[in-house]
Amino acid sequence: MRVSELASKESRVNRPSDDAPQYVITAENLTKRYGDVTAVDGISFRVPAGEAFGLLGPNGAGKSTTMKMIGGVSQRTSGSLSIMGLDPEQHGPEVRAHLGVVPQQDNLDEELKVRDNLLVYGRYFGLPMSYLKPKADELLEFAQLTDKARSKVDALSGGMKRRLTIARSLINEPRILLLDEPTTGLDPQARHILWDRLFRLKEQGVTLILTTHYMDEAEQLCDRLIVVDKGKIMAEGSPASLIRDYSTREVLELRFGSERNASVGAELEGIGERLETLPDRVLIYAHDGEAALEQVTARGLRPVTSLVRRSSLEDVFLRLTGRSLVD
């Protein structure tokens, strides 16, 4: 595939300079209010070129609003924002010339055929047809849609539409790709195909900015992420370091039935490092989950089900906010 053949050349071009990393996005105290509602409340972050950077948080945390401000399609209330050295509010068209945007809901042009969607979108950037025609074919191959080039958009499956949206976002060879909940609503197989495509882009040096409320997605794709809740940054770091800092190595999940989960808490006191009682289950945070389970049974407690697993970002989020990520 042409895209990957040329990847080696690209990684050379996009490698950050030896000394200070080159930041493609710098946000300082970024704030957005809609009337009385503060959607984004003074967040600051920097993203170096080539990084996969995630915004993890529940619905309504301010992730999409942040994405819109980066794209210059939403005006911030206060704070400063620089995309490749430009303020997106002052230089919207210039900034967007180097952005690829995959919105939360596909907004493909249903009146146009699959390949024409790519060509027309490229024209919006003022790109010449001589460039766009081979580029469109290359992207169709990348998105595994070559045999659908002449199809109508509404004949595509959900996963295909999503891939076409991603292909479309790459038509201008963006340096930054904004992905707002890229796999929401897709079945597991379609998600994995999509993740694979995103990995390839990352390998080629594209900076990925990704919002998600799926912790597995964040763990798979992100080099670094911020956990956002109610418009504020709760924590920042790599998935592994966040788990290390805010959780234990393993988690023991116990279900005693919805009647007993709450009352059993007192009897589990002292097992593991921390205890979290949820409506449907009890979580015991421990370095060794199996050992914790032995202690539980030693106390004569008989959970309906028990499960030992490694800590995930879900646990980090629970620890930071006291709420679970997906309700």
Partner 1 sequence: MSVLTGNLSPGDHSVTEAARNRRFGPIYSRNVRAVVARGLMATKSSNWMVMVSGFFEPVLYLISMGVGLGAIVGSVQGPGGQEISYAAYIAPALLAVSAMNGAVYDSTWNVFFKMNFAKLYQGMLYTSLGPMDVAMGEIFLALLRGAMYATGFTAVMGVMGLITTPWAILMIPAAVLIAFGFASFGMGITSFMKTFQQMDWINFVMLPMFLFSATFYPLSVYPQPIQWFIQAMPLWHGVELLRQISVGVFTPATAVHVGYYLVMIALGVLLTTGRLRRLFLK
Positions touching partner 1 (CB under 8 A) are 2-3, 6, 9-10, 13-14, 71-75, 89-94, 96-99, 101, 103, 105, 107-113, 116, 120-121, 123-128, 131, 134-135, 138, 152, 170, 172-175, 201, 204-206
CB nearer to partner 1: pick between 89 and 216: 89
- How near is the Cβ of 156 to partner 1 at its closest, in Å? 15
- Rounded CA-CA distance 269/290 in Å is 17
Nearest-approach distance from CB 228 to partner 1, in angstroms: 21
Smaller CB separation from partner 1, 77 or 295: 77
* Distance separating alpha carbons of residues 78 and 73, to the nearest angstrom: 15
CB 138 to partner 1: min, Å: 7
Closer CB to partner 1, 166 or 234, in the complex:
166
Half-sphere exposure (CA, 13 Å, Cβ side) for 241?
10
Residue 316: which residues within 8 A CB-CB, separation 6 or more? Answer: 227, 235, 242, 243, 246, 247
Q: Where are the beta strands (DSSP E) in the chain?
A: 23-34, 37-48, 52-56, 78-83, 99-102, 176-180, 207-212, 224-229, 232-237, 250-255, 274-277, 282-286, 305-310
Distance CA 184, CA 58 (A): 13
* Closest distance of CB 107 from partner 1, Å: 4
Nearer Cβ to partner 1 (126/279): 126
**156 or 268: whose CB is closer to partner 1?**
156
Minimum CB separation of residue 2 from partner 1 in Å reads 7
